[in-house]
Structure 1
Amino acid sequence: MVEDRDIDQLFDTLARYIRMRERAVHTTFGTPDGEFETAAFKGLFHLATRPMRSRELAAELGADPSTVSRHVSQLVDLGLIRREADPHDGRATLLVITDAGRDRVESMRAGRRSAVHAAMSEWSADEMATLVILLTRFVDAVETVVPPACERRRSETAPASESRRITPAPTNSRNP
């Protein structure tokens, strides 16, 4: 049986990791052009595997389509992705990573690998494999009980939209 204190310690450790990751993101992702949203770069990793529509990318990222649209515009402006007509549906647009985008993804992966190699130089290959297996198992389990953000937003707004329905006002015998 998992103890409450162990769960609390897990979340404390995850919170520390998230803070470190955020610091690393802000020092790793940069452009000569200046400001950008680092969240935009997350889409590059998905687009490096295959071209996809903006809605598909939003689903992959668990993000709102309007937010992803803004990120896509930034990535297009930086020359890291381009929009192409979908060969299966000329009305739709596919997002396609460019060579510069692939180079950026590989550069980010190389930096990430280098940092982890340095941080885990004392770890054995078996320890690393065990971490990956257990962390994957943890994330898979949590995903079964915590819906993606876009699904939570939909379910949170459903009752509000239902409450906006027009319903007849109760009749008052004193008002005609």
Structure 2
Amino acid sequence: MSQPATPTLTRDDALADLEAEVGVLIRRVRRVIAERARAVHPELMPSSYLMLGYVRDHGPLRASAMCAVFGIDKGAVSRQVQHLIDLGLVDRSPDPEDGRATLLSVSQEGAERLAAVAAERRELLAERLADWPAEELSDFAASLRRYNDALGIPADR
């Protein structure tokens, strides 16, 4: 007796599956970013949380440097930056290369709060992915990096 034919997975089917899983990932990431923002400060907006992390990783920097990274105009960046300053998470200082400009850096409080949230996040990931060997985690990260690179997502994320 012969086995029933197994349907062959087409490239279109694989791409549709990838698109669906990325959609799930995006919805979860949005929720997680909102949760992390509240954990850093109850009044922190999710979009400002992403900027705070960027300033931590790339600062000190001018606010205008974030326009291209986040794909938003100077006015929107300025409002987000002011929100971060008002919450005491970012400091502004004169740019030594141009007295008309200012540089942004994460405040001590902002850095401490981000570090605490990151520690909690890694602990949760460690629990949820406890059955994933280190090699599998590394392979998954490499696949995501390759995916992001293929889509032209900037390397500085």
Q: TM-score range by the shorter chain?
A: 0.7 to 0.9
Q: Which runs of 5+ in 1 are unaligned?
A: 145-176
Following the alignment from structure 2 to structure 1, what is the Cα–Cα distance between the partners of residues 61 and 126?
32
Q: Is the 8 A contact 1:46 1:60 kept in 2?
A: no
For residue 106 of structure 1, what is the aligned residue in structure 2?
Answer: 115
Q: Alpha carbons of 1:85 and 1:141: their partners in 2 closer, same or farther (altered >3 Å)? A: same
For residue 36 of structure 2, what is the aligned residue in structure 1?
Answer: 28
Shift of the alpha carbon at 1:137? 0.5
Q: Alpha carbons of 1:119 and 1:55: their partners in 2 closer, same or farther (altered >3 Å)? A: same
Shift of the alpha carbon at 1:108? 2.4
Q: Which runs of 5+ in 2 are unaligned?
A: 1-9
For residue 52 of structure 2, what is the aligned residue in structure 1?
Answer: 44
Q: Alpha carbons of 1:55 and 1:18: their partners in 2 closer, same or farther (altered >3 Å)? A: same
Q: Which amino acid aligns with 1:89?
A: D
1:131 pairs, out of 140, 143, 148, with 140
Q: Alpha carbons of 1:10 and 1:96: their partners in 2 closer, same or farther (altered >3 Å)? A: same
**Is 1:7 equivalent to 2:15 in the alignment?**
yes
Q: Which amino acid aligns with 1:81?
A: V
Q: Considering only aligned residues, what root-mean-square deviation do their CA atoms show, in Å? A: 2.0
For residue 85 of structure 1, what is the aligned residue in structure 2?
Answer: 94
Query: Which protein is bigger by CA-based radius of gyration?
Result: 1
Following the alignment from structure 2 to structure 1, what is the Cα–Cα distance between the partners of residues 50 and 60?
14
For residue 26 of structure 2, what is the aligned residue in structure 1?
Answer: 18
Q: Which amino acid aligns with 1:28?
A: R
Q: Secondary structure at the residue paired with 1:14?
A: helix
> Taking every aligned residue pair, what percent have the same amino acid on both sides?
30
Q: State TM-score, norm by structure 1.
A: 0.74
Q: Is the 8 A contact 2:40 2:114 kept in 1?
A: no
Following the alignment from structure 2 to structure 1, what is the Cα–Cα distance between the partners of residues 121 and 75?
29
Query: Runs of 4+ in structure 1 displaced over 3 angstroms?
Result: 31-36
Deviates further, 22-31 or 69-78: 22-31
Q: Secondary structure at the residue paired with 2:138?
A: helix
Q: Secondary structure at the residue paired with 2:91?
A: strand
- C-alpha distance after superposition, 1:4-61 (max 9, x if no partner): 1111111111111111122222233227975442110111112113210011122233
Q: Secondary structure at the residue paired with 1:93?
A: strand
Q: Is the 8 A contact 2:39 2:117 kept in 1?
A: no
Q: State TM-score, norm by structure 2.
A: 0.82
1:62 pairs, out of 53, 64, 71, with 71
- C-alpha distance after superposition, 1:80-125 (max 9, x if no partner): 0111110111011111211011112212221221222122111000
